[in-house]
Structure 1
Amino acid sequence: MTSERRYPEAVDVAIVGSGPTGAAYARILSEEAPGATIAMFEVGPTVSNPPGSHVKNIEDAQARAEAQERSEGPGAGAATVDSPGAVTAGTRAGRPGTYLLQDGYQAEGEDGLPVAAFSSNVGGMGAHWTGACPTPGGKERPDFVPGFDGLLDDARRLLGVTTDAFEGAPYSQLVRDLLAAAVDEGRTEAQRVQRMPLAVHRREDGRLVWSGSDVVFGEATRSNRDFSLFDESLVTRVLLDDGGEASGVEVRDLRTGELHRVTARFVVVAADALRTPQVLYASGIRPDALGRMLNDQTQIVYASRLRGLAPASDQVAASGTLQEQSGVSWVPYTDEVPYHGQIMQLDASPIPLAEDDPVVPGSIVGLGLFCAKDLRWDDRVAFADDEVDWYGMPAMRIHYRLTDADRDAIAGARAEIVRLAEAVGDPIGSEPFTLPLGSSLHYQGSVRMGATDDGRSVCGPDSEVWTAPRVFVAGNGVIPTPMACNPTLTSVALAVRGARRIAEEITQNSGAPVRTHDQEVPA
């Protein structure tokens, strides 16, 4: 697998975006449709080696910071949230490795998503995420998807999910025991406090390695001579034939500015939950549900100091860029207590919540609760016909409101996180902090899946767009349910099903020629 520059004239499958779900399509197709030609296009540069690997695996701090800045696309150089003070001040800034929506993030009189953010790099947000892969439960599950539990198992395989990455951390069991005493009563075994499933594995030398798209690609993709990855390549639109079916993509080489067209039998748009509907809109694929039911997970954070810990004489040695101290614990979502909780050592947190204790390192843990959104048709990302963004694509306009039910849920989460913080130790600060909307980076619903084509969804259970055959969508935007837990495991699971559908069609029609399209690329 290499990052190529000479675009092919025709492929079987064109994949737009190199994050975990785009990588899942490449992996499944490489495994189950050998001989199929695959081209993947990523708007951002390659920032890590191997391509798509997590930046946490870069041990040198300066090199890691450079990789993060190169992921910030047109927003590179802007201030990021890099200190506890910046978090609690509610500063409108992105996390390192991301950049904010330039404008259009909040309509007048609405709540908006003030810190809606993106990453532009090979691996997408998968090069910067926390690696949390909890199993959805209750109302979070899209139960109309056949074989959903098996698909989750497939996603765990592709992401390299483990539950014992931090098993040697000295305070991990203590944190879980304290949480369990406050939470577990009346819950089923699956709903009780437990280790957070993480896309993290331990190498033979003991070092922790965080999964990015490189792990999802796997050896099957890396050794596939029929797979090519093209970075700094902007797909401006999906091309359709006279029958409205996918026939290829139009792609701009951002290094030269040249426009190319690549014929494809299938197109997978896995750009992210905001840019995937943008690409469809620019392509004239505009079903009523496009961009609708957009949802974020309001995030409540707090920090607490574990009680009664003596200064450690021999801390567990650093493993890569992290100290192994208290690990990452999970408080599962339930329909009765509709919050997803993750309690983690400070240096595993995606945002800085407090300064660590220099006397007893690891004695301060960060707590986060995510709230599921009260889904609304009018919460949406819309696109302008007369304005463009940094990349020359239709400009985004976010319309987003919190309902009374949302505000009640947030109030409940604030009370619950105080209870959990007091259960594990001594809370730091007078009250928890509600992060600005958009902070979760877990945007969903914008190209949502549905059981039937009832006008309320963009794609079917196989992720194929209802109104554009052979066009598939992928990513968190496909998720149709109100989820509180981290969505990556679910979105990769749904991508596996879509990829298998394409693989089946390719293998059943292996002798069929690649279709050509009639559309000309505009000058």
Structure 2
Amino acid sequence: MTRTFPDAVDVAVVGSGPCGAAYARVLSELCPAAAVAVFEAGPLLADPPGTHVKNIVDPAERARAQRRSEGPAPLAAGTATDTMDGYADDAPRLVRPGTFLLADGYRQPGEDGLPGAAMSSNVGGMGAHWTGACPRPGGSERIAFLPDLDTLLAEAERLLHVDARAFDDAPFADEVRKRLAAALDEGRDDDRLVAPMPLAVVRHDDGRVTWSGSDVVFGEETRANPHCTLVPEALVTEVIVADGRASGVRVRDLPTGEEHVVHARFVVVAADALRTPQLLWASGVRPHALGRYLNDQPQTVFAVRLRDVVDAPEEQDGPRDEPAIVPHSGVNWVPYTDDEPFHGQVMQLDASPVPLAPDDVPAPGSIVGLGWFCAKDVRESDRVEFDESATDPYGMPAMRLHYRLTERDHASIEAARAAVRRAAAALGDPLGEEPLTFPPGASLHYQGTVRMGETDDGTSVCSPTSQVWDVEGLYVAGNGVIPTATACNPTLTSVALAVGGARDIAAKLTAVRN
């Protein structure tokens, strides 16, 4: 951590979420002598930098961290900070603690828009607030032109500390999985059967389980690297490009308003799927595909109470708002297949998402939330555009989202609703009459806006190593790089692609030094 802005570095990284952290980590491991600076527009929330807010023990400090993540206009102090509050909310613009919605521009006349589009500004990015789900993509979700995809995914699992067995002792988890498998496994390949959800978590020697944030991705390898620095509240307003090559960044020190130019041999923009194309556009880097192919994952949720189970003993020692992941937070996974193009995330909840009778206290693990995600019908016309004159609260070009759900999307959503009903029926008694389909954008899984391509044919922004076409030394990272229509949680894939980009930079730095 520093408030000193270097004059020059080998690699400037914009954004401290899991993908920006992956670049810093891989470069610290492969090129420990390289100077790396990570710039983050948001504030530091906790130590170590990038800590998941659920790991902050003090409730007041946790709430303060969430409010500080909510950009220029945080929610009111009394607003709920429990991420499960509003799980079954049918609000047209769903607000989650630690995130902030686009104030305007999220829908154009006659279009569906992305009313749920939201971001976080803090060290650790959305990785300080996420659910930790790290399933591998399957079928058409996979990026066919990357022969080393599985190797990269394995490395991403290492960096995120992915564990599929962390909740083996969760009450009823085996029973939930058994019932889902009986209802859904028929006809599936072995790697697409109902299974425990791979989660980015750390199980400690004392039995505690905590969420992985960017702190875990940074790791001691990065924190102990004297050549790697992290500068919070530092807004990068421009990538400096000269003669077809990135040569540095222009950074605004938000506490003072002072601007600094930091020269760099390589620049990595790892903001998010909306702000990464925003920065490129503001920097005059505007390939045809920039901001296009924007896609989200339509999301349908439901909840049930397990039937015919004997209450398990209470295994949680502290109050229910403690940050550690407790044993009755079991999570199961219904993988995506091309025949069933949905991804199911089945969570055993600490409490019911809908009101129960005052004297009705469910057994831990007996309330199950089901979330089904659909793959979007990806189209070039779904895009984020930027205003030539208007600006957002950070002074960057204002966003204008163009987004429509196609007939194919509506059919997919209806099929997912039917699938979640089937899964619910296999588990227990519904809590509520019908599944709830969230407004577009509510999944927070935006992708495609700086998408990767096999060749520079105008339909992609970057190469298979994440370098922007025709701009030497400029790399992009994050969910926006994913070029396929996915339904599974995207973080593992985006971190895997970041690993590939970081290795490419490391190879170039090593070649020059040798």
Using structure 2 for the length normalisation, give the TM-score: 0.95
Distance in 1 (CA, whole Å) between partners of 2:81 and 2:460 is 35
Distance in 2 (CA, whole Å) between partners of 1:445 and 1:55 is 27
- Determine the structure 2 residue equivalent to 1:218: 219
Matched-pair contact (CA < 8 Å) for 1:81–1:87: no
Question: Is 1:114–2:121 an aligned residue pair?
Answer: no
Question: Is 1:412–2:415 an aligned residue pair?
Answer: yes
- Determine the structure 1 residue equivalent to 2:426: 423
Shift in Å at residue 92 of structure 1? 1.9
Q: Which amino acid aligns with 1:376?
A: R
Q: Which amino acid aligns with 1:263?
A: H
Matched-pair contact (CA < 8 Å) for 1:145–1:461: yes
Shift in Å at residue 59 of structure 1? 2.0
Query: What is the aligned residue count?
Result: 505
Distance in 2 (CA, whole Å) between partners of 1:75 and 1:391 is 11
Q: 1:132 to 1:104 in 2, by over 3 A?
A: same
Distance in 2 (CA, whole Å) between partners of 1:483 and 1:440 is 12
* 1:86-485 map, 5 Å: 87-241=88-242, 243-317=243-317, 320-325=323-328, 327-347=330-350, 353-354=353-354, 358-485=361-488
- Determine the structure 2 residue equivalent to 1:49: 47
Distance in 2 (CA, whole Å) between partners of 1:450 and 1:81 is 39
- Greater CA drift, 380-389 or 305-314: 305-314
Shift in Å at residue 34 of structure 1? 1.9
Shift in Å at residue 91 of structure 1? 4.4
Q: Which amino acid aligns with 1:431?
A: E
Question: Is 1:38–2:39 an aligned residue pair?
Answer: no
| Structure 1 counterpart of 2:25, from 24, 27, 30 | 27
- Greater CA drift, 145-154 or 265-274: 145-154
Distance in 1 (CA, whole Å) between partners of 2:91 and 2:37 is 41
Distance in 2 (CA, whole Å) between partners of 1:102 and 1:475 is 23
Distance in 2 (CA, whole Å) between partners of 1:323 and 1:417 is 25
- Determine the structure 2 residue equivalent to 1:521: none
Q: CA RMSD in A?
A: 1.6
Distance in 1 (CA, whole Å) between partners of 2:55 and 2:494 is 23
Distance in 2 (CA, whole Å) between partners of 1:45 and 1:403 is 39
Distance in 1 (CA, whole Å) between partners of 2:248 and 2:164 is 41
| Structure 1 counterpart of 2:490, from 487, 503, 508 | 487
Question: Is 1:508–2:506 an aligned residue pair?
Answer: no
- Determine the structure 2 residue equivalent to 1:5: 3
Shift in Å at residue 93 of structure 1? 3.7
Matched-pair contact (CA < 8 Å) for 1:346–1:354: no
After superposition, give the CA deviation of every residue in 1:223-242 in whole Å (9 maximum; x if it has no partner): 1000000000000010012x
Distance in 1 (CA, whole Å) between partners of 2:37 and 2:86 is 43
Distance in 2 (CA, whole Å) between partners of 1:77 and 1:449 is 35
Q: Which amino acid aligns with 2:331?
A: V
Matched-pair contact (CA < 8 Å) for 1:75–1:100: no
Distance in 2 (CA, whole Å) between partners of 1:63 and 1:321 is 15
After superposition, give the CA deviation of every residue in 1:157-203 in whole Å (9 maximum; x if it has no partner): 00000011111111110100010000111111111000000001210
Q: 1:84 to 1:48 in 2, by over 3 A?
A: closer
Shift in Å at residue 248 of structure 1? 0.2
Shift in Å at residue 62 of structure 1? 1.6
Q: Secondary structure, in 3 states, of the residue corresponding to 2:343?
A: strand
What runs of 5+ residues in structure 2 fail to find an aligned partner?
none
Alignment identity in percent? Answer: 61
Shift in Å at residue 361 of structure 1? 2.7
Distance in 1 (CA, whole Å) between partners of 2:312 and 2:190 is 33
After superposition, give the CA deviation of every residue in 1:472-499 in whole Å (9 maximum; x if it has no partner): 0000000000000000000000000000
Q: Secondary structure, in 3 states, of the residue corresponding to 2:345?
A: strand
Shift in Å at residue 86 of structure 1? 7.5
Shift in Å at residue 383 of structure 1? 0.2
Q: Which amino acid aligns with 1:126?
A: G
Distance in 2 (CA, whole Å) between partners of 1:278 and 1:141 is 26
After superposition, give the CA deviation of every residue in 1:124-174 in whole Å (9 maximum; x if it has no partner): 000000000001000000110131100000000000000111111111101
Q: Which amino acid aligns with 2:203?
A: R
Q: 1:347 to 1:53 in 2, by over 3 A?
A: farther
Q: 1:476 to 1:359 in 2, by over 3 A?
A: closer
After superposition, give the CA deviation of every residue in 1:43-99 in whole Å (9 maximum; x if it has no partner): 000002111011111122221111111111113125669666674332424210100
Distance in 1 (CA, whole Å) between partners of 2:86 and 2:40 is 34
- Determine the structure 1 residue equivalent to 2:68: 70
Q: Which amino acid aligns with 1:109?
A: G
Distance in 2 (CA, whole Å) between partners of 1:46 and 1:460 is 32
What runs of 5+ residues in structure 1 fail to find an aligned partner?
512-523
Matched-pair contact (CA < 8 Å) for 1:343–1:366: yes
